Structures are given as C-alpha cells and as structure tokens.
Amino acid sequence: MISVSGISDRLFELLDGNRLKEKQQEAFVLQTVSEDGWPHAAMISAGEIIALSRTDIRIALWKNTATAANVRRTGKAQFTAWWKGAAHYVKLHCEPLPPLKKTEYDRDRFACRIVSVKEDVAKYADLTSGVRIRLHSPEEVLNRWERTLEELKR
C-alpha cells in the first residue's frame, strides 16, 4: 500500500473530467460520518467529481441529502475508486462552494483538498474491477454530467 499526499497520474486520468463516455460505468463510494457517529456511504459517478489538480478535488452532491449534510457539518469525506488495477482511498477536507445563480441541476458543490491518498495493490492478485454501473439513458446522463463538471470548475 502506497500513501501519498496527492493523487497519482492514473487516478488523475480517471477524475480529469475528460472522456466521460468512456468512464460512464465507473462509480465511487463517498464515505462521510452521520450525526450519530456511524459511517455513511453514498455512490457518486465520474460526472459528479473532478480533479482540478493532484491535490484539489471538487464534488457535486444532490441537495438535501444526508451525504451533503454530513460533508457540510464535518468538512470531511473519503472516496474510494477502483481504477487500472488499484484501489484508491482518498481522504478529503471539504468546504462548501457558493451556490451558482443559473444552473440546470441544483447541487451542493464542495471544494476539497486532499489530506491523504492510499493506493492499494495486491502482490498476489490483480484487481480487475470495482463498482460498475450501467446508465439507463446514457446521452441524457452524460449531458448532465458534462454540465455538472463545468459548474464545478467555476
């Protein structure tokens, strides 16, 4: 297991916001802590997270969700991604971004700074997949994701 303070080239490639059509089946687990102290897990997609750099991530969460409330309350989250043979565990310190005046999809947006990253690769086995999804309406969802990622860049 490798521990670093910024994401690797391979994880940056996954989260760079480009080639969403190729990444539409990828999903990640975003973990937060609920008010009662229990772990809370939510799924996010390649269209709801973007790496602006190796140390800065932005995420868009549906408004009024437990996940968004947990991030707002604690300022902390961790996401797990599985990509190109490794599991990536990324701890984040998050701050809310101001709401945008004109958006098609009303989301809570967060600017996150990477606290730590662990890349987990087994010596005795190949990691062949993580969470995978199949979109019901790919064109519609990819369009929404592209808009969401553009809004996260602002």
Reported pTM: 0.89
Where do the H-state alpha helices sit in the chain? 9-15, 20-23, 66-74, 138-153
Q: What is the pLDDT along the chain (154 residues), one digit of tens a residue?
A: 555 679 999 999 999 999 999 999 999 999 999 999 999 999 999 999 999 999 999 999 999 999 999 999 999 999 999 998 899 999 999 999 998 888 888 899 999 999 999 999 888 888 888 888 899 999 999 999 999 999 999 8
Q: Which domains does the chain have, with CATH numbers?
A: 2-153 (2.30.110.10)
99, 56 contact by CB (below 8 A): no
CA atoms within 13 A on the CB side of 143: 5
